[in-house]
C-alpha cells in the first residue's frame, strides 16, 4: 500500500468513526472541529476534512462564526470552494427555517433561558443588519407568535411600543419577549436600548401585559435584561 493510499484509508476510517459516534449519541461530546469535519465529509467525500475544519475555526473562531460567515469570506479559507461554502450557508439558512416552521406547527414553551437564547440565535444571530424580534406568549410561556419587528431600520424604534402592544392584543398574549442583535458588536445595551426597553415595558403595562425579557444577541454572547435585574 502506497503512502497516499494509507493516508486515505486512515481518514476514511476516522470519518466512519465520527459517523458512528453521531449515530450512537448525536453531537454530544463533539468538538466544533469534529462537527465541521463531519458536515464537510458529506460535500467533500474524497478529502480529509479535518484540516479544512481547523482552518475554518482558525479564521472564524467557532461553529457559530463559521455558519454566519459571508460566502466570499468562507471561500478564502484553504480547502473551501464554491460548493462547500454554499453548503454551509444553506445549512445556516435551514436552521432558521426549521425554527420558523417549528413555531408555526408545534408548541414551543420557554422554561429555560438557554432554550430562549438558542431560539433567538437561530433566527437573528449572525445577521448583518440589526433585527428586532418579538415573541408573544401565553400565561404558561408557550409561544403564540414570533415575528421580526424591523430589520436595519433603527429609526423606527419610536414606533416599537405601539406595534408591540397592537401585536400582543391581536395574538391575545399575556407576556412578551423582545430580542435584537448587535452585528459584530458587544452585547452590552446602549442608552437607546435601555430607553426603548422602558418605553415598551410601560406601554405593555397599560394593557396589563408583562415584558418578560429583552435579549441582546451577538456572536460573542448575549445580554439578558431579566438576568441583570432590569425588568424585575
- Mind listing the pLDDT tens digit for each residue in 57-90? 999 999 988 998 999 999 999 999 999 999 999 9
Q: Quick one: pLDDT band at residue 209, thresholds 50, 70, 90? A: very high
Nearest to residue 214, comparing CAs of 205, 202, 223? 223
Q: What is the percentage of the chain residues whose pLDDT exceeds 90?
A: 66
Question: What's the pLDDT at 107?
Answer: 84
Q: How far apart are CA 83 and CA 67, in angstroms?
A: 14
Question: What's the pLDDT at 197?
Answer: 94
Nearest to residue 195, comparing CAs of 174, 225, 168? 225
Fold of 3-96: DNA polymerase; domain 1 (1.10.150)
Half-sphere exposure of 221 (CA within 13 A, CB side): 6
Q: Looking at the structure, give the CATH architecture of the domain made up of residues 109-224.
A: 3-Layer(aba) Sandwich (3.40)
Average pLDDT, the chain: 89
Average pLDDT in the 199-208 region? Answer: 96
Q: Quick one: pLDDT band at residue 7, thresholds 50, 70, 90? A: very low
Alpha helix ranges (H) inside the chain? 3-25, 32-41, 50-60, 63-67, 71-74, 82-105, 113-124, 160-170, 191-205
pTM exceeds 0.75, yes or no:
no
Average pLDDT in the 184-212 region? Answer: 93
Give strand pairing partners of 134: 147, 178
Helix (H) or strand (E) holding 210: strand 210-217
DSSP 190: P
Higher pLDDT: 126 or 32? It is 32
Higher pLDDT: 145 or 150? It is 145
* 37, 11 contact by CB (below 8 A): no
* 38, 29 contact by CB (below 8 A): no
Question: What's the pLDDT at 3?
Answer: 47
32-41 vs 82-105: helix axis angle to the nearest 10? 100
Question: What's the pLDDT at 64?
Answer: 85
For CATH 3.40.140.10, the residue range(s) in the chain are 109-224
* 98, 118 contact by CB (below 8 A): no
Question: What's the pLDDT at 10?
Answer: 60
For CATH 1.10.150, the residue range(s) in the chain are 3-96
* 36, 53 contact by CB (below 8 A): yes
Amino acid at each position: 500500500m502506497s503512502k497516499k493510499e494509507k493516508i486515505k484509508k486512515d481518514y476514511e476510517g476516522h470519518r466512519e468513526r465520527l459517523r458512528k459516534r453521531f449515530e450512537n449519541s448525536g453531537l454530544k461530546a463533539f468538538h466544533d472541529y469534529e462537527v465541521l469535519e463531519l458536515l464537510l465529509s458529506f460535500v467533500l467525500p474524497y478529502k480529509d476534512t479535518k484540516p479544512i475544519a481547523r482552518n475554518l475555526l482558525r479564521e472564524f473562531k467557532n461553529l457559530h462564526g463559521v455558519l454566519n460567515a459571508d460566502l466570499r469570506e468562507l471561500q478564502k479559507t484553504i480547502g473551501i470552494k464554491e460548493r462547500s461554502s454554499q453548503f454551509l450557508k444553506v445549512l445556516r439558512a435551514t436552521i432558521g427555517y426549521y425554527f420558523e416552521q417549528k413555531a408555526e406547527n408545534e408548541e414551543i414553551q420557554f422554561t429555560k433561558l438557554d432554550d430562549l437564547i438558542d431560539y433567538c440565535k437561530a433566527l437573528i444571530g449572525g445577521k448583518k443588519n440589526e433585527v428586532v424580534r418579538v415573541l408573544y406568549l401565553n400565561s404558561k410561556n408557550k409561544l403564540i407568535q414570533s415575528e421580526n419587528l424591523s430589520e436595519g431600520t433603527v429609526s423606527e424604534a419610536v414606533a416599537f411600543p405601539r406595534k408591540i402592544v397592537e401585536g400582543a392584543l391581536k395574538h391575545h398574549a399575556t407576556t412578551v419577549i423582545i430580542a435584537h442583535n448587535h452585528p459584530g458588536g458587544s452585547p452590552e445595551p446602549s442608552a437607546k436600548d435601555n430607553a426603548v426597553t422602558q418605553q415598551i415595558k410601560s406601554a405593555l403595562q397599560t394593557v396589563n401585559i408583562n415584558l418578560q425579557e429583552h435579549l441582546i444577541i451577538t456572536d460573542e454572547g448575549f445580554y439578558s435584561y431579566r438576568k441583570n435585574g432590569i425588568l424585575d
